[in-house]
Amino acid sequence: MKQKNSVALGIILILFGLFFLAREIVPQYFPQWDWPFTIIGLGGLFLLWAIFSGTGGLAVPGAILAGIGGIFYYQNLTGDWQSWSFIWALIPAFVGVGIMIGGIIDRNYKEAFSGGLTLLFISGILLFAFGSAFGLRPEITKYWPALLIVLGLIALARALFSSKRK
């Protein structure tokens, strides 16, 4: 396992080194490079390490970093910094994606997808709730309470059907 981690780390460092060297030598090919890409790159580093080393748990911080870097890239590109008042609600979705990727790596599909999809759903509720309150104004956001009702029905059904099986 230790040798596998060292090989994964070596490959990842070489790839990042080649990228940064190319960026220094021919900067004209990287005009859109900005600080959010550093955060995305760190997330990518964790994800690659998770894949190469077979350590699925590293996919969670990788997905969180890559996702937050993506949010910052969007905000830096558009200047829409006030969107942070609701866009932070995507962070649980990033955790859910990381759990699902980690489950694929660890071959623990059922628990990973169950937990990951739950977090994606919760993130959707939070995004619509805070988005409708703080600036996200598509017409669909006024229906976010329906997501709470669906989540309640799912929780109720799980509780009723799981107690009957025991």
Tell me which amino acid residue 111 is.
E
Checking if the pLDDT of 166 tops 60, the result is no
Please report, for residues 80, 89, 94, 121, 132, the alpha-carbon distance to residue 84 in angstroms, rounded to integers and kept in the order given: 8, 9, 15, 19, 13
Residue, of 84 and 143, whose pLDDT is higher: 84
Q: pLDDT band for 45, please (50, 70, 90 cuts).
A: confident
- 155 pLDDT band (50/70/90 cuts)? confident
* Residue-wise DSSP of 51-81: HHHT-GGGHHHHHHHHHHHHHHHHHHHH--G
For residue 166, the SS3 value is: coil
User: What range defines the domain where residue 106 resides?
Assistant: 2-165
Whole-number Å distance between alpha carbons of 92 and 18: 32
Beta-carbon contacts of residue 91 (< 8 Å; ≥ 6 apart): 64, 67, 68, 123
Residue 144 scores a pLDDT above 80: no
Q: Which residue do the tokens 């590109």 mark? A: 77
Encode pLDDT of 86-141 as tens digits: 889 999 999 999 999 999 888 888 877 888 888 888 888 888 788 777 776 666 55
- Specify the 3-state DSSP secondary structure of 1: coil
Give the pLDDT mean for 27-50.
Answer: 79
DSSP-derived letter for residue 135 is T
Looking at residues 146-155, what average pLDDT do you find? 74
* Residue 143 pLDDT level (bands cut at 50, 70, 90): low
d(CA 88, CA 131) in angstroms, rounded, equals 10
How many structural domains does the chain have?
A: 1
What angle (nearest 5°) sits at the alpha carbon of residue 144, between those of residues 138 and 148? 165
Give the integer Cα–Cα distance in Å for 62 and 129: 26
What percent of the chain is predicted at pLDDT more than 90?
A: 17
pLDDT at 82: 86
